[in-house]
């Protein structure tokens, strides 16, 4: 019994910034429902006393001295920009009309 | 076909240092092979136009008497997930089409410093999400053993390139089996090192707690030689293990005598058999165990009760991490930008770009990961998956108290047909059942050829796993088994692959 609905997928798509088509929302609703049903079994063995592991090899934070290292030039940073002007990235309006 | 391309990297390297062959000749032979067969195989997304020039430079340095690395002049194929300054890096995605990195990945930088010749970038499932390369935005790679079948994935391009003799060495990345499963289906060798053993700097991120870069080759010794070039601590990767490693090539050479098999305790996971496992794969695995016993090894059945939850945990952790990592494709600093009809805000441009630039599997996993991380579901899904990760590590720890290595088939079946599972994500995910536990626990794994399945004549692979940091043990044992198997067959497995290109 899946809790994945078209409304939920639409909401997740909006959070993910992907403008899914209605067809994609329909097929993803079905597919995600099947996938979630099959992976929900992790909760069977994940009891309260088991600690979580986020990282396979325990390491403490790797820090370096706070000194200037090798950096990219401005030209290198901008070389793949879709649009640039005066050494900066160009984007369209940040705020929409209703904002 | 030039005989040069049939040589292992170690053999070719010996001829190069003896001056019998030049780096230009070696590189040209492989470029010719690519020109002859890659139309059918499609292992490469890009072939270098500067490889010959680089090779000429190696020849000149050698002629001038410079002491070069033993692999100097040997061609190398590079998975497109690794960024390179001289060739585009797309990670198999339209969203990065034409992307030129301002720096080399550490592994590429180290390979170049050793004099390896980067000859091209290999095909892969988009952002390494897949087990067949069918999710590449640039079309699938074909298995050199049967062009109608998948070469594995996500690193199908690198595996197919070495299997088709287009390169003796390749680099791959393994998040849930993307080096080992392609090795299994193409009759080649692939290694996922201990997590943190090889730098991930410049490897386009899929799931940062799982990704690991490793060698893709035709022999165990070649993999060890390449591992020694790319491995070791890198300050630019905060997950890199700060310790020194023994030489893997020395371990592989030592292993070839077979001494290591005497008294070796080999664990067999009882959960890795039965349903879903092809009869011919199980048969070759059983025969390999018999061979190991004959060589003095002891076979021990291992109970790993939580391995059956590994695929489920993986398909929560990976999408969760991927949904975060792939947020960087925002159309602002690099990559594709698509303007929606009638214009819009930067957010609308972002959503239109990601809709146009990502393929179906990438969208599926981003949405799944966003769901697993969302408020109200986090504990049940992502939190539980992280606990399963602990339980799987405990299963490994318990096993390695009893055995030196764990053995299994590298994948449940031989290469399936292109198209067969493309519309069935769950069937595709289950293909990784044998390889995923090693990624969740961070332990190293290797896949080596273990014969052709009798029912379809396609390659099968033996996976060996060792405790974290014991990568050298894998090379020692794998080299011993490889030598035993090949002396039994009377030839290498890859020598049985069909000729390509009508020749």
Q: Residues B301-328: pLDDT tens digits?
A: 999 999 999 999 999 999 999 999 999 9
On chain A, the residues whose CB falls within 8 A of the CB of B366 are 16, 18
Q: Does B468 contact A31 at a Cβ distance shorter than 8 Å?
A: no
C-beta of residue B33 within 8 angstroms of C-beta of residue B132: no
At A19 the pLDDT is: 97
Catalytic, B178? Answer: yes
CATH class of domain segment(s) A1-46: mainly alpha
- pLDDT score of A83 more than 70: yes
**Residue A15 touches chain B, beta carbons under 8 Å:** yes
Residues in chain A: 99
Q: How confident is the model at residue A1 (pLDDT cuts 50, 70, 90)?
A: very low
- pLDDT score of A98 more than 80: no
Active-site pick, B22, B136, B154, B203: B154
Domain with B90, as residue range(s), is 3-263+409-496
Q: How many CB atoms are located within 10 Å of the residue A70 CB?
A: 6
ipTM of the complex: 0.94
Q: What dihedral do alpha carbons B301, B305, B306, B312 form, nearest 10°?
A: 100
Q: Does B309 contact A45 at a Cβ distance shorter than 8 Å?
A: yes
Q: How confident is the model at residue B259 (pLDDT cuts 50, 70, 90)?
A: very high
Q: Does A28 contact B209 at a Cβ distance shorter than 8 Å?
A: no
Catalytic, B154? Answer: yes
Dist. CA B179–CA B172, nearest whole Å: 6
At A94 the pLDDT is: 87
Instruction: Indicate the average pLDDT of chain B.
Output: 96
Q: CA nearest B250: which of B219, B232, B217, B228?
A: B228
Lowest mean pLDDT across A5-19, B364-378, B441-455: B364-378
**Domain tally, chain B:** 1
C-beta of residue B45 within 8 angstroms of C-beta of residue B122: yes
Chain A residue with Cα closest to B388: A46
At B367 the pLDDT is: 97
Percentage of residues in chain B having pLDDT higher than 70: 99
φ, ψ for residue B271, nearest 5 deg: -75, -15
- pLDDT score of B39 more than 90: yes
Q: Does B383 contact A46 at a Cβ distance shorter than 8 Å?
A: yes
Maximum C-alpha span of chain A: 57
Cross-strand bridge partners of residue B331: none
- pLDDT score of B502 more than 80: no
Q: How many CB atoms are located within 10 Å of the residue B373 CB?
A: 18
Q: CA nearest B131: which of B424, B388, B453, B454?
A: B424
Chain B residue with Cα closest to A27: B364
Active-site pick, B136, B178, B331, B408: B178
In a domain, B303, yes or no: no
Q: CA nearest B98: which of B113, B79, B80?
A: B80
Q: CA nearest B177: which of B226, B131, B123?
A: B131
Catalytic, B15? Answer: no
What sign has the CA pseudo-torsion B470, B472, B473, B478?
A: positive
Which residue in the block uniquely carries the two structure tokens 């060792």?
A: B466
Dist. CA B406–CA B268, nearest whole Å: 6
Cross-strand bridge partners of residue B191: B446
Q: What dihedral do alpha carbons B10, B11, B17, B22 form, nearest 10°?
A: -120
Q: How many CB atoms are located within 10 Å of the residue B422 CB?
A: 18
**Residue A42 touches chain B, beta carbons under 8 Å:** yes
Q: How confident is the model at residue B377 (pLDDT cuts 50, 70, 90)?
A: confident
Instruction: Indicate the average pLDDT of chain A.
Output: 91
Instruction: For Cα atoms B94, B99, B102, give the angle at the middle one, nearest 5 degrees.
Output: 155
Q: How far is B189 from chain A (nearest CA, A)?
A: 24
Q: Does B355 contact A21 at a Cβ distance shorter than 8 Å?
A: yes
C-beta of residue B371 within 8 angstroms of C-beta of residue B377: yes
Q: CA nearest B34: which of B141, B184, B129, B124?
A: B141
On chain A, the residues whose CB falls within 8 A of the CB of B335 are 80, 82
Dist. CA B364–CA B368, nearest whole Å: 6
Q: How far is A17 from chain B (nearest CA, A)?
A: 4
C-beta of residue B273 within 8 angstroms of C-beta of residue B284: no
C-beta of residue B81 within 8 angstroms of C-beta of residue B153: no
- Model-level pTM? 0.97
Q: Is B82 exposed, middle or buried (0-12, 13-18, 19+ CB in 10 A)?
A: buried
**pLDDT digits 0-9 by tens, B220-252:** 999 999 999 999 999 999 999 998 999 999 999
Q: For residue B161, what is the domain's CATH number? A: 3.90.1300.10
Instruction: For Cα atoms B199, B172, B463, give the angle at the middle one, nearest 5 degrees.
Output: 105
Q: How many CB atoms are located within 10 Å of the residue B291 CB?
A: 16
B237: its two tokens? 């990767």
Q: How confident is the model at residue B96 (pLDDT cuts 50, 70, 90)?
A: very high
Q: What dihedral do alpha carbons B483, B485, B486, B487 form, nearest 10°?
A: 80
State the DSSP string of B245-275: ---HHHHHHHHTTSGGGTT-EEEEETTSSST
Dist. CA A61–CA A40, nearest whole Å: 32
pLDDT: which is higher, B60 or B274 = B60
- Mean pLDDT for B454-478 is 98
Q: Cis peptide leading into B154, omega within 30 of 0?
A: yes
On chain B, the residues whose CB falls within 8 A of the CB of A17 are 327, 330, 347, 350-351, 354
Dist. CA A7–CA A68, nearest whole Å: 48
At B365 the pLDDT is: 97
- Mean pLDDT for B84-101 is 98
pLDDT: which is higher, B1 or B20 = B20
Chain B residue with Cα closest to A34: B426
Chain B residue with Cα closest to A92: B346
């Amino acid at each position: 019994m899946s809790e994945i609905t078209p409304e939920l997928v639409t909401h997740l798509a909006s959070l993910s910034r992907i403008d899914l088509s209605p067809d994609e929302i329909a097929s993803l609703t079905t597919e995600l429902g099947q996938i979630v049903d099959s992976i929900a079994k992790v909760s069977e063995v994940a009891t309260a006393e088991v600690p979580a592991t986020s990282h396979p090899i325990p390491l403490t934070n790797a820090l370096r001295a706070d000194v200037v290292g090798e950096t990219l030039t401005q030209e290198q940073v901008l070389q793949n920009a879709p649009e640039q002007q005066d050494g900066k990235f160009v984007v369209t309006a940040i705020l929409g009309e209703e904002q | 076909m030039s005989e040069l391309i049939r040589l292992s990297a170690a053999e070719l390297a010996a001829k190069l240092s003896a001056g019998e062959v030049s780096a230009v000749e070696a590189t040209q032979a492989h470029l010719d092979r690519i020109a002859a067969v890659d139309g059918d195989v499609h292992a490469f997304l890009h072939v270098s136009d500067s490889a010959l020039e680089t090779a000429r430079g190696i020849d000149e340095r050698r002629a001038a008497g410079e002491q070069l690395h033993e692999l100097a002049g040997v061609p190398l194929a590079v998975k497109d997930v690794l960024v390179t300054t001289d060739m585009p890096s797309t990670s198999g995605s339209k969203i990065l089409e034409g992307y030129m990195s301002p720096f080399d990945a550490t592994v590429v930088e180290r390979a170049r410093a050793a004099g390896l010749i980067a000859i091209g970038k290999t095909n892969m499932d988009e952002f390494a999400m897949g087990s067949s390369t069918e999710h590449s935005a640039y079309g699938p790679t074909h298995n050199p053993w049967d062009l109608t079948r998948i070469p594995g994935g996500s690193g199908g391009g690198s595996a197919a390139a070495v299997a088709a003799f287009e390169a003796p060495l390749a680099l791959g990345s393994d998040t849930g089996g993307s080096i080992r499963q392609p090795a299994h289906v193409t009759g080649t060798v692939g290694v996922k090192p201990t997590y943190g053993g090889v730098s991930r700097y410049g490897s386009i991120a899929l799931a940062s707690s799982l990704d690991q870069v490793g060698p893709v080759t035709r022999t165990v010794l070649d993999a060890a030689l390449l591992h020694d070039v790319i491995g070791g601590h890198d300050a630019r990767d905060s997950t890199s293990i700060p310790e020194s490693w023994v030489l893997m090539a020395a371990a592989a050479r030592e292993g070839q005598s077979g001494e290591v098999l005497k008294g070796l305790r080999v664990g067999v996971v009882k959960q890795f058999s039965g349903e879903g496992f092809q009869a011919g794969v199980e048969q070759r695995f059983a025969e390999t165990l018999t061979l190991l016993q004959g060589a003095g090894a002891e076979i021990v059945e291992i109970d790993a009760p939580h391995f059956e939850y590994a695929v489920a945990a993986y398909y929560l952790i990976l999408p969760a991490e991927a949904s975060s990592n792939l947020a960087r494709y925002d159309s602002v600093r690099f990559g594709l930008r698509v303007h929606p009809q009638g214009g819009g805000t930067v957010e609308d441009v972002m959503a239109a770009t990601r809709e146009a630039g990502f393929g179906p599997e990438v969208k599926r996993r981003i949405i799944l990961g966003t769901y697993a991380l969302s408020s109200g579901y986090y504990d049940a899904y992502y939190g539980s998956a992280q606990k399963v990760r602990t339980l799987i590590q405990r299963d490994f720890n318990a096993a390695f108290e009893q055995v030196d290595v764990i053995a299994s088939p590298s994948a449940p079946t031989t290469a399936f047909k292109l198209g067969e599972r493309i519309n069935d994500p769950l069937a595709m995910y289950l293909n990784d059942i044998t390889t995923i536990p090693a990624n969740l626990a961070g332990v190293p794994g290797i896949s080596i050829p273990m014969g052709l399945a009798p029912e379809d004549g396609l390659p099968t692979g033996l996976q060996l796993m060792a405790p974290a940091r014991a990568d050298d043990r894998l090379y020692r044992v794998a080299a011993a088994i490889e030598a035993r198997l090949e002396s039994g067959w009377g030839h290498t497995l890859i020598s049985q692959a069909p000729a390509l290109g009508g020749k």
